[in-house]
Amino acid sequence: MNIALQKGIPSKPRVHPGCELQGWETLYDETSLWIDAAAVKGEVPTDIEGTLFLSCVGRNKIGDQQYGHFFDGDGMINAVTITNGRVHYKNRYVRTPKYVNETAAQRILYRGVGTQIPGGMLKNMFRAPGNAANTSVILHGGKLLALWEGGKPWELNPTTLETIGEYNYEGGLASSQPFSAHPRLDPRTGSLYNFGVFGVPKPKLHFYRIDSSGEVRANRSQYVGDYSMCHDFAISENYAVFVLCPAFMRRPFRFLFGLSSILESIDFDDAEKTKIVVMNLENGDIVKEYEFDAFFGFHLGNAHVEGDELFVDALCVDQMDVMDGLSDVFAERGVDFRFQENGAVLNRFTLNLNSGCASRSPVNGALAGEFPVWHPDKTGLENRYTWLGTIVENGTPYWFNAMQKLDHHTGEMTLHDYGEGRFTSEANFIRRAGSNAEDDGYLLSIVYNHARRKSEIVIVDAQDMQTEVAVIPLEHHVPFGFHGGFYNEVFEHAP
Ligand SMILES: [Fe+2]
């Protein structure tokens, strides 16, 4: 399928194979500086006031030993402060035991999702994976927390990004309860909802409700099936929605006895069903369950209720091959993702809460994509627009190089192509001050630019999807990574 032609944009032959490679490389330096205003292309909007906290996978190896999966590199937090038209950039590794001890030893000491400790079975037997704190970062209840779905949050100082320590909500999370990297904030109450999956061979789904002050108010653990992986979920005003794909750890002893990594011990069984579980948002009671033919997906979009029907958006792909593909990014150079043939596409699920009937269909105009975002005030309510990253045939389709805007009312898709040799992180939507239009705002992301061999902070007009309002150059690359969020708080004050 030629996506570029489909959208009326001439397809370009592939050029600069491997030009994204520096985006996978380790960034050792930790910096903190105001960007020279004269170096900015365009103008930094003065109605943006706040901080983008964005995680990335800062380190892909230790000594001469490469990590075995994108998910196993060490977490680095980037803080982009925008205030009065000025921009400050800061980055710092999360000092987890994995980071600290491996730095001292200069070799791999911890198992990961797809990484084994070199040395065979005895080195890995009965060893739990190390928390890489590399997947997301949130600011809630006065705490800045770096997240990784298999373990506890790591608390950071929001001004300096210095690591304070592992955080369990003052005992609100039990020692066996992980805290996923995809919590959802209810913009109306300030409550944060999250979950974790843990247990071998019978995993439990742990559901948490945390009030705006950061206190755990509900903590519910229940068995919902042998589903070993759940990366994300969605909330409506009254429900939590989990999409549980048939990825099962059917050979747990191989993992426990150190014979294989977690990833190698999990099988996607396409003869089984993908289950959607709807819970009461207040207490985690199961309200309804639905089954679909097997599909896989990491991320969900938004959810909302109209009458008896619960609508939820989720990225869907037939197989789980992407997990294997992400094993190669540090080791093999020039991975060709063939994203439009194999990538996940946003689907809208319609779940009748009364009859139990359910259906799904692809969102009109959607290209394969990842990292969906929407206006934060719309979480749990109907949102007209969803923005998400994609990979288009712009000459360098080697990592996320474009952003798609989906209009759920008209079915139109609008694309921002960052251009040949430019690769973007997840974008965060920032509303334009004083505007009530749902798409009136900015998409803020960090883009690796191969022509400069460095990264830049890019602000795109989220409404027209054409204008790069400001391009703010950095003097180094920022490694590829995952998630973060934009907050109105400013912790760095202009000189
Ligand atoms: Fe994610």
Least confident residue range of 210-214, 238-242, 342-346, 466-470:
342-346
For 392-447, what is each residue's pLDDT tens digit? 999 999 999 999 999 999 999 999 999 999 999 999 999 999 999 999 999 999 99
- What was the pLDDT predicted at 2? 33
Q: Which two tokens stand for residue 416?
A: 């921002």
Distance 426 CA to ligand 1 centre (A): 10
Is 345 part of any domain?
A: yes
- The C-alpha atoms of residue 165 and residue 158 are separated, in whole angstroms, by 13
Is 335 part of any domain?
A: yes
State the pLDDT confidence band at 6, using cuts at 50, 70 and 90: very low
Distance 306 CA to ligand 1 centre (A): 27
Instruction: Name, in order, each residue with C-beta under 8 angstroms of 64's C-beta and a sequence gap of 6 or more.
Output: none
Tokens 């247990």 map to which residue?
199
Report whether 99 contacts 28 (CB < 8 A).
no
Distance 52 CA to ligand 1 centre (A): 17
Report the DSSP pairing between strands 163-166 and 32-34.
unpaired
Instruction: Name, in order, each residue with C-beta under 8 angstroms of 357's C-beta and a sequence gap of 6 or more.
Output: none
Distance 8 CA to ligand 1 centre (A): 31
Distance 57 CA to ligand 1 centre (A): 13
Total domains in the chain come to 1
- The C-alpha atoms of residue 429 and residue 155 are separated, in whole angstroms, by 24
- What was the pLDDT predicted at 324? 76
Distance 331 CA to ligand 1 centre (A): 22
Region 336-359: mean pLDDT is 90
Q: Which two tokens stand for residue 374?
A: 């929407």
Is 301 part of any domain?
A: yes
Distance 474 CA to ligand 1 centre (A): 25
Q: Which helix (H) or strand (E) holds 408?
A: none
Is 362 part of any domain?
A: yes
State the pLDDT confidence band at 321, using cuts at 50, 70 and 90: confident
Is 495 part of any domain?
A: no
Distance 219 CA to ligand 1 centre (A): 22
Distances (CA, A) of 155 to 35, 146, 180, 263, 361: 27, 6, 14, 27, 40
- What was the pLDDT predicted at 4? 38
For 294-313, what is each residue's pLDDT tens digit? 999 999 999 999 999 999 99
pLDDT of 7 above 70: no
State the pLDDT confidence band at 21, using cuts at 50, 70 and 90: confident
Give the range of the structural domain holding residue 306, as residue numbers without chain letter. Answer: 3-487
Kindly report the backbone phi and psi dihedral angles of residue 385, in degrees, each rounded to the nearest multiple of 5, phi listed first: -120, 140
Is 493 part of any domain?
A: no
Distance 349 CA to ligand 1 centre (A): 19
Instruction: Name, in order, each residue with C-beta under 8 angstroms of 225's C-beta and a sequence gap of 6 or more.
Output: 244, 275
Buried b (16+ CB within 10 A) or exposed e, 222-242: eebbbbbbbbbbbbbeebbbb
Instruction: Name, in order, each residue with C-beta under 8 angstroms of 161's C-beta and a sequence gap of 6 or more.
Output: 77, 79, 90, 91, 92, 144
Indicate yes or no: pTM above 0.75: yes
Least confident residue range of 157-161, 164-168, 321-325, 354-358:
321-325
For 68-112, what is each residue's pLDDT tens digit? 999 999 999 999 999 999 999 999 999 999 999 999 999 999 999
Least confident residue range of 117-121, 322-326, 487-491:
322-326
- Residue 448 belongs to domain with CATH number: 2.130.10.10
- What was the pLDDT predicted at 333? 64
- The C-alpha atoms of residue 214 and residue 386 are separated, in whole angstroms, by 28
Report whether 196 contacts 180 (CB < 8 A).
yes
pLDDT of 495 above 90: no
Is 157 part of any domain?
A: yes
Is 219 part of any domain?
A: yes
Q: 19 or 245: whose pLDDT is higher?
A: 245
